[in-house]
Every structure is written in C-alpha cells, then in structure tokens.
Structure 1
Amino acid sequence: MGMQINTNIAANNSYRNLSNTQNDLSKSLEKLSSGLRINRAADDAAGLAISEGLRSQVGGLTVASRNAQDGISLIQTAEGSLTEVHSILQRMRDLAVQAGSDSNNVKSREAITTEAKALNDELTRISETSNFNGIQLLDGSQSSLKFQVGADGSASSQIAVDLSGANVKSIATTLANGTTAATGSEFTIAAVGAIGGPATFTSTTAAGVQTSVTTGAGFPAAATFTSVDGYADALRADANFSSAFTVSVTKDANGAGNGIIVSAKDGGVVSSATPPAGLAVGTVGAGVTGGVKFDTATNAQAAITLIDAQITKVSTARSDLGASQNRFESTIKSLSVSKENLSAAESRIRDTDMAEEMVKYTRANVLSQAGTAMLAQANQSNQGVLQLLR
C-alpha cells in the first residue's frame, strides 16, 4: 500500500463508524431521557399508528368515566329532591286520612287545607329550583338526558337518563287543579239473562292520561249471570279490573240490582268501547275538579286516591333513577378496566424498556470512546511521510 496524505482511508473509515456510533448513542440518550421507544414516526411507523389509536381510546375512556361520574351526581341531585317530595306527599296523605273522619269540625278542616296548600306550594318550589349546572331536572322541561360513556361515536356509547316520571311540577299542578274523583259511569241492564262476558274499561283523567283495562283470561262468558250483583262480584275478583277500577251496584225501588257503576281509581272519567254483554252504557260520570279537597269526608277519600297515584309516580321515578345510577357505577368500573388494559397495550408498544436500552447505550458509549481513539490513531498514521521529507 502506498503512502498518501490527501486521502486517509483509515481515518475516513474510523470517522464513518464513529458517526454511526454517535447516532446510535444519541438515539439511546433520547429514549432513555424521554422514556419512549417511539419518539418520531421513523422509530417505528406501524407502532406509532397503533399506539396513537390506543392513546385516543385511553383519553376518550378517561373523559367518558368523568361523564359517568357527572351522571351519578345529576341523579343524586334529582333523587335527593324526590326524597323530600315523597315526604311531602306522605304528609299530605296523612292529612287526607285525618280529614276523612267527620270528627273534624269546619275549623279543623280549614287548618288541614291550609297545611296541605303550603305543602303543595313547596312541591312547586322544589320543581322550579332543583337543577344541576343550570339544567332543570323536575319541572318537566327535560324528559331525557344523554351521557357519553364510551370512547367512540356509536349509539352504545351513550346512556339516557329518563326524567319524564320525575315531573314534580305536574304533580303539584294535579294536586292543585286536577280531577280528584269521578262519579263513575253507569251500565244498566239491557238484556236480562245475558249478563256476563269480558269487557274493556277506559279511564281518562283531566290531564288526558288514559288507562285501559280488559278483564283477564278465563272471565265468565256472556249469559253466565242472571243479575248484576254476581257480575259485580266477578269484576271485583278480576285482578286486571280491580287494579284500576272499582264497581258498585245500583238498585231499583224494590232493592233489585238494575245496573253497575264503574269508577276509576285515578279519578278519571270511565268509558267502554266494549261494554259487558247484557249491559248498556247509561250515564257517564263527570269528574270533580279543583284538586285535593278536605272539606268533606268524601272529598278527603278522593284526595287519598289521587295522592296515592302521585306517590306511585314518584316511587317509580326514584326506582328508575336508582337503576340508572347503578348502571353508571357499573359503567365506571368497566371503563376503568378497559382503560388499564389499553394503557398497558400502548405502553408495550411505545414505552422504552429501560434495562434493554441501557445495555444499548453502554455498548454505544464504549464504541464511541473506542472510535474516537481509533480516529486519533488513524490521523497519526500519515505522520511517517514526514520522515521521507527530511
């Protein structure tokens, strides 16, 4: 090999290897200092794409979990107010039971009415002031609220909370102005000896709420009964009918039954598109309006029935809210598990194995020092030319 000074091949080779080692050393330092195996797309293009997708899911699940917590807070706010609504309605029912006794004089009934009105006013106030983050919960303005509890845009990522049954304002209005009773609809004998058979009865309240009931399977067929008394007893024994209606028998001047009067437990006006066989629709009972009244024992009894209906509504609404709260709690647990597993998956792809990377760093560091020494030696290798020039 000749002796050249313009081109030092050994030095160039040492420099190239040293540059590669310095590049590896720089990458190791970057990974060790950031804790990430992938700092740029060039480090692992496919891994970057996958890890970014996982990172989006983890972030979405984190926010979804907070949304579910907000849902629980909203439900607790609404349910807390409904707890007091229940207490108020129970107190109003106690007053109605108290007013159902004629041992009360006029002043006593006036005192009962005054307290009941104050309680109903409080129901209205509760409906107008129960809100969460400015959202009214109990005034009927919100029938349903949706909560995003998933990381994607599918329908299954949302949970709807039904607030339609928690309309306290409607309850207060019903107790103040609604129909508390109806005189009942009369069904008179049209064909003696043909009485019986299934029938359908419909109740319509002053608020327009309809309840339709058909007598249950196995109800005695037509011509089973020769009098309305037996048919009335059969209606009372029928679970479908007795769940929403009551029946009484009308008598003629001789004390014989000449018809039945069907009344709705919700105070609505009764009609029948399919009346019992052998009976014809007579007088349709009119509703008694003006809300709960305690001025007579009869009105107090009607008030009990109406208040019971409102208590049932609140109980149903609270049950629905409780079920939704339990669902949110289960959702949060599920989100936590999913978030943990997805975070682990992203970590395996994107995070640096510090022990392994430290091994690479140590190797590159040693090679860097060796390369620097060899580059110095290579730069000195052409010094022998000077001996020829002396």
Structure 2
Amino acid sequence: MSLRINSNIAAMNAYRNLSVNDKQMSSSLEKLSSGLRINRAADDAAGMSIAQGLTAQIGGLKVAGRNAQDGVNVVQTADGALNESAAILQRMRDLAVQSANGGSQDTNAQAAAQTEFGQLQSELDRIAKTTSFGGQKLLAVGTAGGAAYAGSFQVGANNTTDDRIDVTLDATVFGTAGTKASNTLTGTFSNALDGESITATLNGTGATVKLNNPTNLDDVVNQLNANNNFSSSFVATKSGADLKISSKVAANETIAVTSTASGLTAGTATAGTSGSTATGFDSAGLGVGSSVNLSNTANARNAIDSVDSAIKSLSTARAQLGAYQNRFEHTINNLNVQVENLSASKSAITDTDMADEMVKFTRSQILSQAGTAMLAQANQAPQSVLKLLG
C-alpha cells in the first residue's frame, strides 16, 4: 500500500460522488417543493417547449369559454326583450280584433282601444331603443340600415374564422326593414271572379292563385294568403276598396300584379327601398307603426293582418336567437372538454410524480450521508503517514 499526501485520490473520489448525490438531492427537493418536473428549460428543453405551447392554448381556451358565455348572455338579453315585445303584439292583436267588431264598437270604443294601441306602439319603440348589452344596442337599427346587431365572438384559442361565431340580428332577414314593394288591383271583387287568377311577381319571380267563387274582397284576401306559394313571398291586404299585394321583404325590389279578369286593373308597380330605412325591432320595423291604427272598423281589420305578420317576424327572430344560444352552449361544453384534456397532457409533461421523486430523493439522501462519512474516512487515511515520521 502506497501512502501519498499531495493527492488523496480516495478523498477526491468520495468528494466527486458526494457532489453528484448532493446535486441530485437538491434537484429532487426542488421538484418536490414546487410540484413541477420542469423548473427550468435545462430540466427538459423539448418538454418545456411543448408545455409552453399547451399553456398558451389552455389559457386561450379558458378565455374563449368566457367569451362564449358572453354570447349566451347577449342572446338571452335580446330574447328577453323580444319576449316582452311578443306579449305587447299579442295585446295589440286583441285590441285590433275587438275594434274590428264594428257591429258593437262605436267610435268612442274604437278611440279608447286606439289610445292603448298607440301606447303599446310607443313601448315597442322604447324597448327597441333601450335594449343593450355593454353599451351595444341589440334591437335598434344598425348603421346605414344594416343589422340591428352584429357581433363577432372569439370562441377559439387561435386567429382563424373557425375560432369565431358571428351573431347577426338583422331586421331585414325577418322582413321588417325598408319600404316593402307593393301593388294594387282595383275593380269589383265578387263571385264574378270565380275561376279567374291573380299573379304577383317579385323581381320576376311570382305566384299565381286561382280564385274559387270569392264573395267579396275579404274572401279574395283570405284565398290569396291561404295559398302557400303566394304567402311565402307576398301578403294580401285591403286598401280601402282595392286589393293591395305587398312583398314580405325589403331589398330594392319591384312587384307586379296581374289578373286574368278583365274587370280588375293593376296599379303602377312600386319599387321597394334598401334596408337603409330599417328601424330594427321597433313598431315601424315590425310593420305596426303609426300607419296601423284602430280608428275605424276597416283599419282595425287590416291591423289584425299587420300584427299577425309582426308576430310571425318576431317569432322567427326569437327562433334564430334560440339557435344561437344552443350553439354557444355546445361550444362552451366543447371548450371545457378541450381544456380538461390539454391540461392533463401538460400535467403529464411538467408535473412531478411525487412518489417516484420521493424514491429518488431518499436514495440521494442516503448516498449523501454515506458519501459524507466516506469522505471523512478518506481524509483520515493520510494521517497514518505521521506514524512513519515518528
């Protein structure tokens, strides 16, 4: 056995192993205390890169979920207001039916009904003007007669069209915007028209209805509106002693009305304007504005048709709102599932397996204690040289 004091190889070896074990124990302590397997890029460079991407995606999806919930809230706000508007229209229809009963309603009674009718029209206007969400009007006319409300909701983590849902409450879609094109037929509307046909054409596309022994103008109106091909694009009403046929939408249109009956004469076609005159979901936009009144029996009867059309338009609008809400809710569910699964994936990369790391820590702790003891022994070994010198 050789004894050297300048180079204590045993001590150097013990110190090196002790340093390695101490580093491993420190690393385990850091992971156990933080709960993270990756505390710095050096721990796992590739894993850190993947985890950062997942973190960004998870954060974006969480915010997107809140955005989608905002969409639900916007839709519910609009639907709540339209629900009250629908109740108002139902009351207006009741009043119109009451005033149309000319056999018992005198002018005083009709005037009283008209007073409430007018107040209800004003309330429709107020609801449309004041319903808002975060300062954005939901039911009033949009810029240049555009959609009453148009909003784009970011419901994804990325910048693509598939990560957005566009919500549009467009009064024009529901047939409430602009001045609807119309035309009139004048003549005698009686059973002399049996077998005769009336054709209405909108921008070259029309519908023909063959009359079946109509007794009067009311019967003609009813037969026209009962025809599905006709009622899909047109509505027939009385205009005094004339038959008025109007389109259901307003979009720069021209309507023509013809008849095979020689006794009926068509008026001049009227071009509808664009949506620039839209008034959203107020009384004018719904087609029950100031021109609709209960001042006399004839007007009250016409008001019934106008209110019916408004109720149909409003129901269509609310159905669309319901569809938007269901879509948003499915989107929220999907986002929550994505956040859960991506969080699990990130956890598998970045989080500490506490049981496994505790095993490593215990091993490093024992080796560190043993290494410290062996280093002390190695440092004592050269002292035996002193015996040789004595």
- Return closer, same or farther for 1:111/1:213 CA change in 2, 3 Å cut-off: farther
Alignment-derived partner of residue 277 in structure 2: none
Alignment-derived partner of residue 252 in structure 1: none
Q: Please state how far the C-alpha of 1:282 moved relative to its aligned partner.
A: 3.7
SS of the residue 2:28 aligns to: helix
Equivalent-residue separation in structure 2 for 1:291 and 1:271 (angstroms): 22
Counterparts of 1:51-70 in structure 2, within 5 Å, are 51-70=51-70
Q: In structure 2, what residue type is equivalent to 1:137?
A: L
Q: Please state how far the C-alpha of 1:266 moved relative to its aligned partner.
A: 5.9
Counterparts of 1:141-290 in structure 2, within 5 Å, are 141=142, 142-165=148-171, 184-186=184-186, 199-202=199-202, 214-215=206-207, 238-243=227-232, 244-246=234-236, 261=243, 263-264=245-246, 272=255, 275=258, 282-284=266-268, 290=290
Q: Structure 2 length as normaliser, TM-score?
A: 0.78
Alignment-derived partner of residue 108 in structure 1: 109
CA deviations 1:191-216 (Å, max 9, x no partner) are: xxxx98995523xxxxxxxx875227
Q: In structure 2, what residue type is equivalent to 1:143?
A: Y
Q: Please state how far the C-alpha of 1:284 moved relative to its aligned partner.
A: 3.5
Equivalent-residue separation in structure 2 for 1:264 and 1:198 (angstroms): 13
Q: In structure 1, what residue type is equivalent to 2:309?
A: A
Q: Is the 8 A contact 2:184 2:243 kept in 1?
A: yes
Counterparts of 1:61-140 in structure 2, within 5 Å, are 61-102=61-102, 103-140=104-141
- Return closer, same or farther for 1:124/1:200 CA change in 2, 3 Å cut-off: closer
Q: Structure 1 length as normaliser, TM-score?
A: 0.78
Q: Please state how far the C-alpha of 1:246 moved relative to its aligned partner.
A: 3.9
CA deviations 1:15-74 (Å, max 9, x no partner) are: 111101101011011111111111111111111111111111111111111111111111
SS of the residue 1:184 aligns to: strand
Alignment-derived partner of residue 26 in structure 1: 26
Q: Is the 8 A contact 1:60 1:150 kept in 2?
A: yes
Q: In structure 2, what residue type is equivalent to 1:214?
A: G
Equivalent-residue separation in structure 1 for 2:310 and 2:227 (angstroms): 24
- Return closer, same or farther for 1:91/1:376 CA change in 2, 3 Å cut-off: same
Alignment-derived partner of residue 301 in structure 1: 301
Q: Please state how far the C-alpha of 1:182 moved relative to its aligned partner.
A: 7.2
Equivalent-residue separation in structure 2 for 1:267 and 1:27 (angstroms): 73
Q: In structure 2, what residue type is equivalent to 1:153?
A: N
CA deviations 1:338-372 (Å, max 9, x no partner) are: 11111111111111111111111111011100100
Q: Is the 8 A contact 1:32 1:357 kept in 2?
A: yes
Q: Is the 8 A contact 1:185 1:285 kept in 2?
A: no
Query: Unaligned regions of 5+ residues in structure 2, if any?
Result: 143-147, 189-194, 211-215, 273-288
Computed over aligned residues only, the root mean square deviation of the Cα atoms, in angstroms, reads 3.8
Q: In structure 2, what residue type is equivalent to 1:241?
A: F
Q: In structure 2, what residue type is equivalent to 1:283?
A: G
- Return closer, same or farther for 1:267/1:295 CA change in 2, 3 Å cut-off: farther
Q: Is the 8 A contact 1:25 1:365 kept in 2?
A: yes
- Return closer, same or farther for 1:72/1:247 CA change in 2, 3 Å cut-off: closer
Alignment-derived partner of residue 363 in structure 1: 363
Q: In structure 2, what residue type is equivalent to 1:90?
A: Q
SS of the residue 1:215 aligns to: strand
Q: Please state how far the C-alpha of 1:388 moved relative to its aligned partner.
A: 2.1
SS of the residue 2:38 aligns to: coil
Aligned pairs, number = 347
Q: Is the 8 A contact 1:61 1:150 kept in 2?
A: yes
Alignment-derived partner of residue 224 in structure 1: none
Q: Is the 8 A contact 2:4 2:382 kept in 1?
A: yes
Equivalent-residue separation in structure 2 for 1:135 and 1:235 (angstroms): 41
Equivalent-residue separation in structure 2 for 1:267 and 1:53 (angstroms): 49
Equivalent-residue separation in structure 2 for 1:7 and 1:387 (angstroms): 19
CA deviations 1:86-135 (Å, max 9, x no partner) are: 01111111111111121222221221111111111111221222111222
Alignment-derived partner of residue 337 in structure 1: 337
Q: Please state how far the C-alpha of 1:235 moved relative to its aligned partner.
A: 6.6
Equivalent-residue separation in structure 2 for 1:383 and 1:165 (angstroms): 100
CA deviations 1:252-288 (Å, max 9, x no partner) are: xxxxxxxx956338699x965585679796434899x
Q: In structure 2, what residue type is equivalent to 1:13?
A: N
Q: Please state how far the C-alpha of 1:324 moved relative to its aligned partner.
A: 0.6
Q: In structure 2, what residue type is equivalent to 1:139?
A: A
Equivalent-residue separation in structure 2 for 1:118 and 1:246 (angstroms): 27
Q: Please state how far the C-alpha of 1:143 moved relative to its aligned partner.
A: 2.8
Q: In structure 1, what residue type is equivalent to 2:154?
A: Q
SS of the residue 2:140 aligns to: coil
Q: In structure 1, what residue type is equivalent to 2:16?
A: R
Q: Is the 8 A contact 1:267 1:302 kept in 2?
A: no
